[in-house]
């Protein structure tokens, strides 16, 4: 079973994703994808660790190459797709210069991952719908994220949007 969850920041996506991963059963892996860039990120990471305390997740850090952590029998919570694409598109080792080929490989890897593991719950941030115009690199990032979100939504069994704590199920059913 695969789930794709999208929505705004601090709307309950991770809480829902954790509950789904627990309900799916099996050995649970929390795939942490964010590279901390400071105190605010560190606080968010600590909060997420505390939120899933006692739920039986093994935390696996994966900043690139999602297939490197694939276990066909595992239940994976990938939190989040947004950071994974950002890490690929703006790699630290290339001084954050945009790497569109790496972003494509990341997207392909996520689709392959969804078809490889027993269960997966993907969390992504809905950051591409406002009318604001941003820098060329930010617009490219938003475009890449929108593309992978569409691709994941297509291959996942269930697609959920979370807004202000309210769920909209666009495809499939909840297992909880």
Could you tell me which residues are beta bridge partners of residue 162?
7, 167
The topology under which CATH files domain 2-171 is Rossmann fold (3.40.50)
Q: Taking residues 133-149, what's their average pLDDT? A: 91
Backbone angles phi, psi at 25, to 5 degrees: 75, -175
| Structural contact between residues 3 and 17, judged by C-beta atoms closer than 8 angstroms | yes
Nearest in space to 109 (alpha carbons), one of 38, 36, 33: 33
| Structural contact between residues 98 and 137, judged by C-beta atoms closer than 8 angstroms | yes
- Domain range list for the chain: 2-171
Examine residue 80 and say whether the peptide bond preceding it is cis (omega within 30 degrees of 0): yes
Q: Which two tokens stand for residue 10?
A: 């601090």
**pLDDT at residue 37, as a whole number:** 84
Q: Give the pLDDT band (50/70/90) at residue 123.
A: very high
Exposed/middle/buried for residue 116 (C-beta within 10 Å: 0-12, 13-18, 19+): middle
CA 11 to chain centroid, in Å, comes to 15
Scan for tokens 């099996």, then name that residue: 26
pTM of the model: 0.92
Question: Which residue has better confidence, 10 or 107?
Answer: 107
Q: Is the pLDDT of residue 67 over 90?
A: yes
């Amino acid at each position: 079973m695969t789930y794709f969850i999208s929505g705004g920041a601090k709307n309950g996506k991770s809480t829902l994703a954790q509950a789904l991963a627990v309900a799916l059963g099996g050995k649970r892996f929390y795939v942490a994808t964010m590279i901390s860039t400071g105190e605010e990120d560190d606080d968010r990471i600590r909060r997420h660790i505390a939120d899933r305390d006692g739920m039986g997740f093994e935390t696996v850090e994966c900043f690139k190459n999602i297939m490197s952590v694939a276990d066909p029998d595992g239940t994976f919570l990938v939190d989040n797709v947004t950071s994974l694409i950002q890490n690929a598109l703006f790699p630290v080792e290339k001084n954050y210069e945009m790497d569109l080929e790496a972003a494509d490989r990341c997207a392909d890897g996520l689709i392959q991952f969804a078809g490889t593991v027993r269960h997966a719950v993907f969390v992504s941030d809905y950051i591409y719908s406002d009318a604001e115009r941003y820098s060329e690199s930010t617009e490219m990032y938003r475009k890449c994220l929108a593309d992978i979100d569409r691709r994941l939504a297509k291959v996942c069994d269930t697609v959920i949007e979370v807004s202000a704590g309210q769920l909209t199920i666009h495809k499939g059913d909840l297992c909880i």
